[in-house]
Structure 1
């Protein structure tokens, strides 16, 4: 296939301003689902370290218990719980889409994405109340 001179000389944008693009809720939900998966993968190392430390000895257990009293640790744990809850909600949404639900229109896909985000927000508030 030959490139015509007209196609080569088209004016192309120099940069893409992402602030001007409005992503639909389905795109945001998909991106957040992937981000939550990456956070969960990283959180696995932290949680395994906590488990190993707490099982080493009584002093290790007491060290982990003392960590739970710190603000920064509670914030990290809250972020991990939010990632888990969002990944769960979005995963259930994807499973329902695989079964044929929410596929009839873009509107139903957007609504299901908004519902999964709203359920995650409620779960985040509950997790925050539980932690603090």
Structure 2
């Protein structure tokens, strides 16, 4: 049985709908949080260990790379919450049509970008 269907091997020509992009970004943000949680726990434990540890954590926070990592964590956390609420609302049966899914996908991406800007302004 031979199937005669087109095969598109040019991945750059494929464009995902906003709902699919939002869903993929939700998974990516979860992976980013998983990777960075060790650094965040270490930073919290160091800052709570005493005055010397707090001073060490404060000096680590002064480094631009550490601030970028924390900004990345905050951005991933914010987007993961936004997209997670979107998924929970859809699990309840609201907004499950194609048009509404595309709209909420765009909205979650836009809110994630706004959150990233707010977190960057607050952190820097």
TM-score (norm 2): 0.91
CA distance in 2, matches of 1:11, 1:112: 32
CA distance in 2, matches of 1:58, 1:16: 58
- Give the length in aligned residue pairs: 124
Is 1:117 the counterpart of 2:104? The answer is: no
Taking the TM superposition and a 5 Å limit, the aligned residue runs for 1:36-47 are 36-47=29-40
**Which structure has the greater CA radius of gyration?**
1
Large movers: runs of 4+ above 3 Å: 10-13
Is 1:128 the counterpart of 2:120? The answer is: yes
**Larger RCO: Structure 1 or Structure 2 (Cα < 8 Å, ≥ 6 residues apart)?**
2
Taking the TM superposition and a 5 Å limit, the aligned residue runs for 1:1-132 are 4=1, 7=2, 13=7, 16-103=9-96, 105-132=97-124
RMSD: 1.8
Cα deviation for residue 55 of structure 1 reads 2.6
CA distance in 2, matches of 1:88, 1:29: 12
